[in-house]
Each structure stands twice: as structure tokens, then as C-alpha cells.
Structure 1
Amino acid sequence: MSKEHNFINRELSWLEFNHRVLEEAYDPHNPLFERLKFAAIVCSNLDEFFMVRVASLRDQIEAGFNKKDPSGLAPEEEMAAISKRAHRMVQELYQCYHHSIKRGLKKVKIKLLHAKELSEEQNKYLDDFFSKQVFPVLTPMVVDNSRPFPLVMNKSLNIGILVADPKNRKNFHFATVQVPGVLDRLIEIPSPGETRNFILLEELIKNKLDQIFFGYQILATANYRITRNGDYSLDEEGAEDLLAAIEASLRQRKWGSVIRLEVDKNADTRLLEILTEELEITLDEVYLISGPIDLHFLHRIAALKGYDHLLNPPFEPVMHKDFYDVEDIFSVISQKDVLLHHPYHSFEPVLQLIQEAAEDPQVLAIKQTLYRVSGNSPIVDALVQAAENGKQVTVLMEIKARFDEQNNIHWAKKLEKAGCHVIYGLAGLKTHCKVLLIVRSEEEGIKRYVHLGTGNYNDVTARLYSDIGLLTANPYFGADASNLFNMLSGLSQPLEMHRLVVAPSHLRNKIMKFIDRETENAQQGKKAHIIIKINSLTDQNIIEALYNASQAGVKIELIIRGICCLRAGVPGLSDHISVTSIVGRFLEHSRIYYFWADGEEKIYLSSADLMERNLNRRVETLFPIDDEEIKQEVKHILHVTLTDNVKARKLTEQGIYLRPSARGKKVFDSQKIFYQEAQEEVPKKTSRVSQESFHPVTSIKDQVV
């Protein structure tokens, strides 16, 4: 059971997930501009992976930590395997860029020009543009005896240059120019004809270096970009002011040690030697790029006007049928529980609930957890308004949400200024649960309204992420939510809840109990079935319990978008386990736990993935679905997802993911089916017509836009 080959390394599994994203950039069935977005996402995913996961691994190596992970890899072995796979992925990404994306852009008359391709008229235009818009912003920095190598900012794009006196070419200096992030990297050049021509800002600057280093000879140039360690450490227990400690750590993130160097493939060896020596990195940490470094600019091309036919059809979430043309949202929730399936159902009822609560004189208190909110959050505005209206507002703003710390600190201060009670997270734990509690005075007495979700209270990502939320006035959920907030804001110990299961105190044991029960039922010859839909599965104890269940004969269907350290379909170990990963237009983010339970069919939704951090070091919630109608809705979500043969990949025994064959079968895209069904639920006479039209797909060709 604990044999090392039974587990897939966590980091290598994540890289395979990012490869599935890259496959979407290759896929000709995706519209061209959508493929551009996927290629850019691969880049941003790798940035975060290096800043956090690779940086943490390097810290372990430098500290002399040699403990092997469950897959049997020591940190140095793990680093070598990651480097090999990441280098190959970067090569594949740029093959996609040159052979698929650039060719696709050329077909639609969009071209990225190099300096040598510019006409005389285009050069004149760019001369004027450079002198007026670019040159005043540039700061060339030369390295010599009096000027040390400058601090290069994390993820900034730079141009390394070797400059020399024309009379003595052997006496050269290294210089660097940062490509200004304040300027648009994509510059359109007026051109005759139908083709739209662009040049990248770094290409323009390189072409004008003689104006920057006037009187000197340019011997060599190379674009480069560094990634720094963003996995800062924080002594929460010793921090007198957690907010101040987080703010100080954020400043450190900009100048952490360099863990990756991306540089032009044909960089001069002298220039490359200077960079590796000054940045203190090894050649294994150097990524030679055969194209534009950092493909984030593809997002900018995908945003160009006039190319709607190269994008997915416009998408507009539909209002859930129970809230259509409803003015009093409390009246609906007081009568029945409602399940929202985003992004197919609009996030508007959640916003409306908070906004109505802010203005409703009967509402006494609002309590909410916030993990990642949007940049211009209507939820924060509503909470501010509620506090100004004299209501008691308590917000747990998790300021340790990685890469959203600065944004969350900003909103926390705004809420505090408005009179809200703000809790900046808990020492040693991240509060990752998604809970909203509204306390209202009604004729029958105090009534509590609750929203529990699998995803963040973020109106922007609610249109992009697949998540589920439950709106309920069930008094047991209300009592549990009150207990949870008392635990978060005070010193009370976690209580035994009526319906909620909370991590880190009880959630792990609850999941293990359900898995063990299915195992026992299978051993007794009874039907046993587990379906789990999550983002990641890494916890060794959970994996071993699932292996035990499989060996007992339990049918286990796992839907895991990202990391999966379990091996599926291994004879004698996991014969009865299948793993499906869906990577498509929307980011699959919901967490669903289904257990046959000898016919009782237990269904839970959760904010938690099956990772050690979620089960041991985060405040998470697991909550049951009791309503029979909603149970059927969740079971339908699972069934449709497992039937997908368009955006699904199946994990093989060898640890790779393959698309299921759709030959001879009806093509089934789960995300399209969900949206079509949501549209069909809306009352016909008052239906808000969506801009996107879905129809049953009968062949792969039908999906080409």
C-alpha cells in the first residue's frame, strides 16, 4: 500500500495538468483567439508554479532536507525531474506558438513584425513613436566598477546588452534596459491593405538601442526575464500585527532569490555567462526561449476588436428559475433551498441577497468569509453600506490568500474604516470556507439565511469558474453558521455541528468514515460506489483509503481537474478507480462528494480539496444536500460530467492523460450541456435571451467556430 510507485509526484502531476491546458492551445476545434488565451494561461501558470512550488523545493534542498515524498523522490531528484519536464513543456509551448498560433494569426491577416521586416514608411512612424512615447520612459543601466549589477524586478521583461567603445571592442560592458511595464507591449503599425501589423515593444527598443547608447557599439543583445522566489515565510505566531507582517512579506516577494531565467535561445555566450553569474543560477534553471519571452501579450491580441468570430460565442449566465423577476429574495429562500450552478446560473442572487440585506431594516447582522474578491467588488460595497446603515457586519478577510494579499488588505482596510468588524484570518490557519450568514428579525422571531459555496465570493470568477452554491434558511445550517463565526471571531473551540463538518477538526475523519463504510459494504457483497469531484488529490492517507476501497470492490469515479497523486487502473491496487480531468472553457472548481451508503446516497458539497493543507491547515466546510430535488440536481451534474467525451481526459495506469475515443458516439461536451439546460429552465415568456446558442452536438465538426 505504501509502495512508492503507487503514488504520482505532486509537482509532476501539476505539470501534466498544465500540459492539458497547453493541449487546448493546440486544439484546432477551439476558436483561434481562445487558443491564444490558453497559451497565455500556460505561461502565467508556470510563473506561479516556479514562484511557489519550485521555490519551496529549492529552499528544502538548500536547508539539507532529504526526506523523500510519497512517490519516492528526494528533493534533488524531484527538482531534476521537474526541470526536465518543464523544459520540454516550454519547447512544446513555443512549437505551438510558431506552428499553430502564428500561422493561425497570419490566416486572419494579423502579423507580428520583426525590425528587419519594416518598410521605410513604417520605420518613420516608429521613429516618431519611439522618441515621443518610449524613449522618455527608458532607464538604461550599465554595469562597471562604480555601478553594480542592478536589482531586476520579478517577472519584468528586460534587454541585456553588450556595449563597447568602437575603438576597443574587447573592452565591453554589460548593460540592461527594462521594457517598461507601463507601456502597451503590443504596438500596432499603420499599414496599407487588410493585414494588421504589430511589433512588440522590446523589438522596437532593441532596434533603437543605438539612440540609447549613442557613440558606442552594440555587440550583442538578448531579451531576458527572471522569476523570483515568491514563497515567503511568515512567523504568524510571533507577529504582533499580522497585517503589518503580511505587508512586509509582500515587499520581500519582489526581491526574492532568482529561481528561473528565461532568455533568448540565441543569446551570446558572454552575455549568458554574465546573467547566470550575477543572478546566481545554474544552467538547469535557464530556459532558452525560441520566440517572444512571456506570451502574456497574447491576451492583448485576443482582446482586439472586430474578431468576435475568432472567440467563443458570447456567454451570459441565466437567472435561476426560482429568482426570475423576484423582488424579495428572502421570501424565496425562506420557503425552499436553492442550488446555484455557476457560471450557468447567474451569481446575481448572491449579490442581490447581500445588497438587499444591507438596505433591509429587518436585517440585524451580516457575517461573511472572503478569500478572493474581485478588483471592484460589489460585495464589499454592499457590506460597507450595511455597516453605514447601522447593521452589525463581521467579515473574515483572509489576507494570506496567495497573490491576492495586497488586494485583500485594501478591501479589509476599507471595510474596517466603514465600521465593519474585520478579522484578518487566524494564526496558523487559512480560512478557505465560503460562508455567508444573514440574521433577520421577522414576525416569527429571529431567522437566519445562509449561503454556502464551493467557490469564492467573486463576481468576476463566478462567470469563469464552475462552482456550486446553496442558499438556505434551514435553522440547523443557521445555527452551525453562527457557531462557525463565533469560533472564527472568538476563542470558542470547534463545536459538534448539526449539519456542517469543519476542517481542520472533523472533515478528514468524516471523509475517511464514508470511504471506510463503502469498503465494508463492498466486503459484505453489497453495492458500493464513490464519486468525488475536486480540484486536487494529494493526501496520502485518503489515497491509501481509496486503494483499500478499490481492492474491496468499491466502484470509485474521481473527477479531478488538476493534481492527482493517485494511480488509476493499476491491477490489484486500483482496478476499480477511474480518474477524469475536464479542461475546457470554464475552470472546473466545484467540490462534490457522493457515497452510495447502502442506498441512502449521501451527497456533500465542500470548499475543500483532498490535500493535506486543506484538511489540516485550513478552515474548510463540508455540508450535506438533504433536499431530494437538489440531490437529483447534483447527481445529474456528476453524471453529465462523467459522460463528457470532448473536454475530458482519462488518467492511465502510466500516469498520463488521454482523451476518450468519441468514434461512433454522440459527442458530449458537459459544459455546453449544462448551459443549454440552464437556459431551458428559464420561463419561456419572460426568458432573458442569452447571446450564446447551444445545440446538441453530433460530431466534432459541429464544434468548430
Structure 2
Amino acid sequence: MAYRLNDQKYYNNRELSWLMFNYRVVQEAIDPNNPLLERLKFLAITSSNLDEFIMVRVAGLKDQVKMNYHEPDTKTQLTPRQQLEGIGKLNRENSRVQYEYYHKLMGELERYNIYFKHPHELPQSMQEKLEDLFDTEIYPSLTPLGIDAYRPFPKLKNKKINIFVDLSNDLGDQTAIVQLPTVIKRFYEMKDGVNTYYILTEDIIETHIEKLFTGYRIDRTFPFRITRNADLTIHEEGAADLLIEIERFLKERTRGAAVRLEIDISKNHTINGSFLKHELDLHEEDIYKYDGPLDLTFLFELCSKLKEQLPHLVYQPFVPQEPKFLGSENIYDKALEEDIFFHHPFESFEPIVDFMKEAAEDPDVLAIKQTLYRVSSDSPIIEALKLAAENNKQVTVLVELKARFDEENNVQWAKELEDAGCHVIYGMHYLKTHSKITLVVKRVKGKIVRYVHLGTGNYNDSTAKQYTDMGIITTNPEIGIDAINFFNYLSGYSLKPEYNALHVAPFEIRDLFGESIDTEIGHHKEHGNGYIFAKMNSLTDKKVINKLLQASQEGVKVDLVIRGICCLKPGIEGVSDNIRVISIVGRFLEHSRIYYFYHNGEEKMYLSSADMMTRNMIKRVEILFPINDPQIVKEIKSINRLYLMDNIKAREQKSDGTYEYVENSYEAISAQDELMRRAESYGREQQVQKENQLLLKVKNRFKKRK
């Protein structure tokens, strides 16, 4: 068959596809089936997501334009300039909807006697209290920055809110900027009987700003915010110490070039920001004007404050359950018998923490080796590693210093681990180590046993409650040997090893995908039953996409569950009409990566830390690992079916690249809700079993007494 694969109509642009994903996050704020405070949090998530996108992806495109780089991308043939134009158009529409629902949802809060008000809208007695609060708490921390021949335009901080001030006196017009210090709150709370009022700090400052400029008339004020380029290069070549280079890089990133200017025009719709545009060397398309407050991430804090007061306006609490494949058994004893499967957050992350704690304290444990990419601020994993080193175990930890926006935290963790006696390595030259692997070497009955944990998500007890991830603990000898070789490869000088069971990027994972798709095509030609399932965060790699298109054209059925970016367009007749693309955005962040090939009944199931993205498969150290236990394969297939049945949170991509909510013949079903229900049901069964066992022990004791 002649494959037609180079037509740009078969692909979605990566950046525009990401913006479509961010709109699906906005849709969760629109969805009336979500509790009110959760809907507000989705607006905050949208803003947080967009900040990173602007700082990295948009900044990178703007750099290309500045350097007169006009080569189109390989899939959609859009130049950097065309991509920026498309981003501007789509992002402005996303932002319009986001702010439309911000006002609607804040209006709904008023039904619960909660009001976001401007100081002028408060009762007179409250205005006086607010002025006193300004004088005592806010005013002392403010520094007005005049701009003239002697005082140049200041280097304003990335993502911080500022107030622009036009002022004048008898000598003429002047310009100044007031920065909101990071040490003061973003909003203040005041109560009046049953009513609770919240007032944004920038509104309080604007109301009393004349106190900062005595002798001047205040002609105009407005809040603004700058987003700077964070897509800077870490200079690994020649760095005597990567730790020092990362610290230098962090300082440099705060001073990156401005790439976006946001202006709050809610009080004055005529503001154009021309002065700021000139000073920041921006263009009109870089300016975003919002009819509402800047940086909606403050809604995270607001919702956190309100959830105790309004518990019915948040998701009903869910307690992660005991892992089905572990129950209440000891994790080390169970792993000697069979592989253990974990599915977070439906199943608790605590057994992984216990796995580390027990290793730290067990005198039979000789060594612990682990990769860390992102960990929580108060990590029990870090504490276990430090304790293990203090207990004279050989502890080797790879802390990936280049984990974007976690560099500062990871520098601190690296120093703490080194101080505790751990051997710390910082990653590999020009590659990010994104693998999730732990090796515990233990003496059991006189023999050395290698316990290996492999996962799709970070060793982060906090995000494990919010992200869907999978993992296994195994004592499989081949995987154990591979783990030893993997860590030796990271920590020493050696050629990349030949692995028995693991597939390790760079290159190996993409090669496996290509070979597996070819094999599936071959089976389909012979048996007519070809099937591929893949779940991931993003699909961007053109080589893999082309392989999937070839499989579709040969008749192989392909189901893709992709949360975010998808550069493949499904449903195009004769090209991708056997491919279905589903995206699920819900209560939990879909983060697990699952790859399944039917192979005429000789099923191959893999989990991985890697997406089908070029950067993951070529520019990172990633691990893809097989699921060998038939019962675990069966369990994961059952989970996969749920995602394909979802008709509440699932959206399906159409052949033009747009997404629509799934409609199918199943009864209403949300995959995440069903997985919570199943976990709780299993948890209740386990509790009944424990109670029955306890009751049986009591009865036996009673019989013995008789």
C-alpha cells in the first residue's frame, strides 16, 4: 500500500493542540456537574498552565522570530510567526471564556454570602478599617518607583503584579510603578455579620495610592503583569559543577526577556499599555487585556480557605485504598511471591513510602538506589533516604537538577542528601533523567534479592493524591539485573548496557514502538484482529505518528487516550479512519502511560515514564517496562476499557482536530468516578475480611478457654 503521510492536513500543530487542551480545562470550570469551588480551581489551573506555556513554548517561538528563523514545523508546515498568530487568536478566545466564567462563578458565590468587592463598594465602616489595614500592613512594604531620566525603567519580576501610575503636578506629567511585594497577601478578608468580603490587594493599593505620591494628582492607575522568557539554556558544557551552574541559571531566568504583558482593564477599558509595550520591547499581539483581576491562580488559596466553610462545594473526600494486589501483606514478603501492581490515587501511595522506610531500617538491606525528578516539599521519601545513609547503607540517588521549574527545590534536596551521606548524582550530560525507578538490594535467607519499583509517576506523596499513575514492585531476576546495570550506567563511565527486559531511552523506546506497530500490522494482515491501545499525556513524535497512520491504513484498530497534545488527526478517510483519540480531563490529572499491542493473543503490555514525544524518547533517560503477570495485564485492560467507555469526562477528537464530548450507547459513566467506586468497594470488602478474621480469633480463644 502506498502511504500518504506528508500532507499537513493529517496533523495538528503542537502549540495549538496544547491550547485546545487548556480549553478542555476551562470546560471543567463551565461544567455545572462539578462543585462550585472545584470549578473555580479549574480556572486557576488554566492560568497556571498558561503561564508555563507562555514562558517556554511562546518564548521559544519569539526567539526564533527574532533570529529570523522562518523554517516551518515538520508536521503542519507553520512558520514560527504563523504559529504565534494562531496562538494569539486561540488563546484570546480561551481567555475570554475563562473570564466570562470567572465573573459568573464569583456571582454564584454571593448566594453563600461571599463577596469579592472593590473597597469603594464596602460599607463605610469597613472602608475605614481597610484604610487602617493599608496604613499599618501594606503601606510600609511598598516602594514607589518613579521613571525619568535619573530613574530608568525598573527590572520588574516575572509573574508579579504591579500597578502603573500616571500622575501630575504643576510641573508636568510623571510616570511611576508600584510593585506588590511578595511578602503581603493577594487578598484580605473582612466580615460583616453573615457576610464575608474579600478585597484584592491591588484594589486596596489603588484606592489609597495617593498616600505614596504626596503633592501629586493621581490621573490614572491600572494593574499589570509581565511574563518573562524561562526557556533559557543550562550551559552543561564546561560546567565545573552542575549544581553551581543551575543556581546561576535560576538567577538568569528571573531576568529573561518579557514575552507577555497582561493588563487589568476592568476599571478603564481605554487602557492600551503603549508606554509599557515600548519599554518592554513588546508588540501589540503580546498584550492581553482582561476584564477582571490578573493571575487567577489566587483562586487556589481562596478555595482552600472556603472549603471548610462550604464543604458541599468541593469534591466529596476520597481516601485512597489498600492496593488490590497487596492488601495488608508485607510488601517485601509479597514481592517474593509475585509482582505487585499499584494504581494511584485510587490506591494509596503509602505502601511506596513504607517500602522506602522499611528498606532504610532493615539491617538486611545493603543498598538503595533511586531516581528523583519531582518530590514534595516535605518528602517522606527524602527522609527515608537520609535515614538509610545514616544507617550505613549504600545509598545512591540521582536528583535531576534540570527538572523544569523544580530546579531550585532539587538543588536543595541534593545538598540535604549529600549532607546525610548519600551519594548524589545530578543526571546525565545533555539528557534529563525522567525515569521512575528504585532498587533495593536485600539479603534474604542468605541470598541477595533485588527489589525493583518502576512507575509512571514521580516519587511525590503529594501529587500521588492528585495524579493517576501506575507502578509495580517486582523481584523478577531479569529486571533486577537491568536495574543494577541502569544505575551503574548513570553513576559511572560505561557504554549503554544491553537490557534483558527494560527498554531505556534515548532511542530504545521509540525503536520498540516502531517494531511493535510493524508486528501488529503483520499479525493483522494474517489474522485480521490487529489492535493497539496507548494512553499518554502527549503524542508529538512524527515517526511514531506515521507508524500509527500506516497501521490504520492497513486496518489495525487503534485507541489513543491522550490527555494533552495530540499532533495526529484521527478519522480521516483512508488515512486515520481506524484511529480514535480520546481526552479525559477530570478530578484527577491523567498521568499514567500505558502501551498495549494485541499481537494475535500474545499480548504485550508496557507501562512507562515516557510519552510518545520526541523529547521523551530522544532527549531523556526514560524507562518502559513490561507487565508480565497475566492478572495485572487483565487489571490494566479493565481500566483501559473504562476510559474508552467514559461518556461524562471524555472528549473525542474529530477529523478537523476539534474535540467534542463523547456520546455512546453506555449508561452514564466517568472512568475516574468508577475507579474510585471500585477502590472503595474493594476497601470495604477488605475491612469486612479483617473484621471476620478478628472475630474468628476471638471465637477460637473463647473455645480454648472452655
The TM-score, its normalising length taken from structure 1, stands at 0.95
Residue 24 of structure 2 corresponds to 20
Note closer, same or farther for the CA distance 1:619–1:275 as it changes in structure 2 (3 Å cut): same
Q: In structure 1, what is the Cα distance between the partners aligned to 2:95 and 2:255?
A: 24
Note closer, same or farther for the CA distance 1:520–1:618 as it changes in structure 2 (3 Å cut): same
Q: In structure 2, what is the Cα distance between the partners aligned to 1:592 and 1:301?
A: 36
Residue 687 of structure 2 aligns to a residue in which SS? coil
Q: Following TM superposition, by how much is the alpha carbon of 1:210 offset from its aligned partner in structure 2, in angstroms?
A: 1.4
Picking from 575, 593, 602, the partner of 1:600 is 602
Residue 458 of structure 2 aligns to a residue in which SS? coil
Residue 704 of structure 2 corresponds to none
- Are 1:106 and 2:110 matched, yes or no? yes
Residue 246 of structure 1 corresponds to 246
- Is the 1:321–1:683 contact (alpha carbons within 8 Å) kept by the matching residues of 2? no
Q: In structure 2, what is the Cα distance between the partners aligned to 1:515 and 1:462?
A: 31
Alignment of 1:457-536 (within 5 A): 457-536=459-538
Deviations 1:304-361 (A, max 9, x none): 23111100001211112454444x4211111111100000000011100100000000
The aligned amino acid for 1:29 is: N
- Is the 1:553–1:576 contact (alpha carbons within 8 Å) kept by the matching residues of 2? yes
Note closer, same or farther for the CA distance 1:359–1:307 as it changes in structure 2 (3 Å cut): same
Picking from 128, 153, 156, the partner of 1:124 is 128
- Are 1:313 and 2:320 matched, yes or no? no
Structure 2 residues without counterparts, runs of 5 or longer:
691-706
The aligned amino acid for 1:236 is: E
- Are 1:650 and 2:652 matched, yes or no? yes
- Is the 1:582–1:588 contact (alpha carbons within 8 Å) kept by the matching residues of 2? yes
- Is the 2:242–2:426 contact (alpha carbons within 8 Å) kept by the matching residues of 1? yes
Q: Following TM superposition, by how much is the alpha carbon of 1:540 offset from its aligned partner in structure 2, in angstroms?
A: 0.5
Note closer, same or farther for the CA distance 1:445–1:565 as it changes in structure 2 (3 Å cut): same
Residue 437 of structure 2 corresponds to 435
The aligned amino acid for 1:675 is: M
Residue 76 of structure 2 corresponds to 71
Residue 524 of structure 1 aligns to a residue in which SS? helix
- Is the 1:370–1:395 contact (alpha carbons within 8 Å) kept by the matching residues of 2? yes
Deviations 1:230-270 (A, max 9, x none): 01112212322211111111101111000000012365868
- Are 1:94 and 2:94 matched, yes or no? no
- Is the 1:504–1:615 contact (alpha carbons within 8 Å) kept by the matching residues of 2? yes
Q: In structure 1, what is the Cα distance between the partners aligned to 2:27 and 2:533?
A: 26
Structure 1 residues without counterparts, runs of 5 or longer:
690-705
- Are 1:355 and 2:357 matched, yes or no? yes
- Is the 1:547–1:574 contact (alpha carbons within 8 Å) kept by the matching residues of 2? yes
Residue 449 of structure 1 corresponds to 451
Task: Compare 114-123 and 20-29 and name the one that shifted more.
Answer: 114-123
Residue 574 of structure 2 aligns to a residue in which SS? coil
Q: Percent identity?
A: 46
Q: Following TM superposition, by how much is the alpha carbon of 1:674 offset from its aligned partner in structure 2, in angstroms?
A: 0.7
Q: Following TM superposition, by how much is the alpha carbon of 1:688 offset from its aligned partner in structure 2, in angstroms?
A: 11
Q: Following TM superposition, by how much is the alpha carbon of 1:374 offset from its aligned partner in structure 2, in angstroms?
A: 0.5
Q: Following TM superposition, by how much is the alpha carbon of 1:195 offset from its aligned partner in structure 2, in angstroms?
A: 2.2
Deviations 1:115-149 (A, max 9, x none): 22122101111011111111111111111121111
Note closer, same or farther for the CA distance 1:459–1:267 as it changes in structure 2 (3 Å cut): same
Q: In structure 2, what is the Cα distance between the partners aligned to 1:688 and 1:172?
A: 79
- Are 1:153 and 2:154 matched, yes or no? no
- Is the 1:522–1:554 contact (alpha carbons within 8 Å) kept by the matching residues of 2? yes
Residue 438 of structure 2 aligns to a residue in which SS? strand
- Is the 2:645–2:666 contact (alpha carbons within 8 Å) kept by the matching residues of 1? no
- Is the 1:222–1:268 contact (alpha carbons within 8 Å) kept by the matching residues of 2? no
Deviations 1:558-582 (A, max 9, x none): 0000000000100110010000000
Residue 203 of structure 2 corresponds to 203
Note closer, same or farther for the CA distance 1:18–1:308 as it changes in structure 2 (3 Å cut): same
- Is the 1:322–1:332 contact (alpha carbons within 8 Å) kept by the matching residues of 2? no
Residue 378 of structure 2 aligns to a residue in which SS? coil
Residue 685 of structure 2 aligns to a residue in which SS? coil
Q: In structure 2, what is the Cα distance between the partners aligned to 1:247 and 1:210?
A: 40
Q: Following TM superposition, by how much is the alpha carbon of 1:684 offset from its aligned partner in structure 2, in angstroms?
A: 3.3
- Are 1:680 and 2:685 matched, yes or no? no
Note closer, same or farther for the CA distance 1:14–1:576 as it changes in structure 2 (3 Å cut): same
Deviations 1:157-206 (A, max 9, x none): 010000111x35xx2111111122222212112313x2211111110000
Q: In structure 2, what is the Cα distance between the partners aligned to 1:654 and 1:137?
A: 53
Task: Compare 7-16 and 297-306 and name the one that shifted more.
Answer: 297-306
- Is the 1:162–1:271 contact (alpha carbons within 8 Å) kept by the matching residues of 2? no
Task: Compare 41-50 and 108-117 and name the one that shifted more.
Answer: 108-117
Q: Following TM superposition, by how much is the alpha carbon of 1:681 offset from its aligned partner in structure 2, in angstroms?
A: 2.0
Deviations 1:448-499 (A, max 9, x none): 1010000000000000000001011111111110010011111222222111
Residue 694 of structure 1 corresponds to none
Q: In structure 1, what is the Cα distance between the partners aligned to 2:269 and 2:641?
A: 56
Residue 575 of structure 1 corresponds to 577
The aligned amino acid for 1:561 is: R
Deviations 1:360-389 (A, max 9, x none): 000000000000001111000000000000
Note closer, same or farther for the CA distance 1:648–1:268 as it changes in structure 2 (3 Å cut): closer
Residue 374 of structure 1 aligns to a residue in which SS? coil
- Is the 1:512–1:542 contact (alpha carbons within 8 Å) kept by the matching residues of 2? yes
Alignment of 1:635-646 (within 5 A): 635-646=637-648
Q: In structure 2, what is the Cα distance between the partners aligned to 1:215 and 1:115?
A: 23
Picking from 364, 367, 387, the partner of 2:366 is 364
Alignment of 1:42-441 (within 5 A): 42-69=46-73, 70-98=75-103, 100-165=104-169, 167-168=170-171, 171-192=172-193, 194-265=194-265, 272-303=273-304, 304=306, 305-326=308-329, 328-441=330-443
- Is the 2:325–2:342 contact (alpha carbons within 8 Å) kept by the matching residues of 1? no
The aligned amino acid for 2:332 is: F
Residue 686 of structure 1 aligns to a residue in which SS? helix
Q: In structure 2, what is the Cα distance between the partners aligned to 1:283 and 1:321?
A: 56
> Could you say which structure has the greater relative contact order, defined with CA pairs below 8 angstroms and 6 or more residues apart?
1
Q: In structure 1, what is the Cα distance between the partners aligned to 2:199 and 2:116?
A: 5
Residue 671 of structure 2 corresponds to 670
Residue 8 of structure 1 corresponds to 12
- Is the 1:5–1:72 contact (alpha carbons within 8 Å) kept by the matching residues of 2? no
Deviations 1:273-300 (A, max 9, x none): 2111111101110001101111111112
The TM-score, its normalising length taken from structure 2, stands at 0.95
The aligned amino acid for 1:229 is: N
The aligned amino acid for 2:488 is: N
Q: In structure 1, what is the Cα distance between the partners aligned to 2:647 and 2:685?
A: 30
Note closer, same or farther for the CA distance 1:79–1:200 as it changes in structure 2 (3 Å cut): same
Q: Following TM superposition, by how much is the alpha carbon of 1:114 offset from its aligned partner in structure 2, in angstroms?
A: 1.2
Q: In structure 2, what is the Cα distance between the partners aligned to 1:687 and 1:625?
A: 30
Q: Following TM superposition, by how much is the alpha carbon of 1:525 offset from its aligned partner in structure 2, in angstroms?
A: 4.6
Q: In structure 2, what is the Cα distance between the partners aligned to 1:245 and 1:63?
A: 26
Q: In structure 2, what is the Cα distance between the partners aligned to 1:441 and 1:465?
A: 34
Q: What is the root-mean-square deviation in Å for CA atoms of aligned residues?
A: 1.5
Q: In structure 1, what is the Cα distance between the partners aligned to 2:30 and 2:98?
A: 9
Q: Following TM superposition, by how much is the alpha carbon of 1:610 offset from its aligned partner in structure 2, in angstroms?
A: 0.4
Q: In structure 2, what is the Cα distance between the partners aligned to 1:39 and 1:181?
A: 22
The aligned amino acid for 1:293 is: L
Residue 616 of structure 2 corresponds to 614
Q: In structure 2, what is the Cα distance between the partners aligned to 1:210 and 1:268?
A: 22
The aligned amino acid for 1:494 is: K
- Is the 2:51–2:227 contact (alpha carbons within 8 Å) kept by the matching residues of 1? yes
The aligned amino acid for 2:195 is: T
Note closer, same or farther for the CA distance 1:108–1:656 as it changes in structure 2 (3 Å cut): same
The aligned amino acid for 1:90 is: S
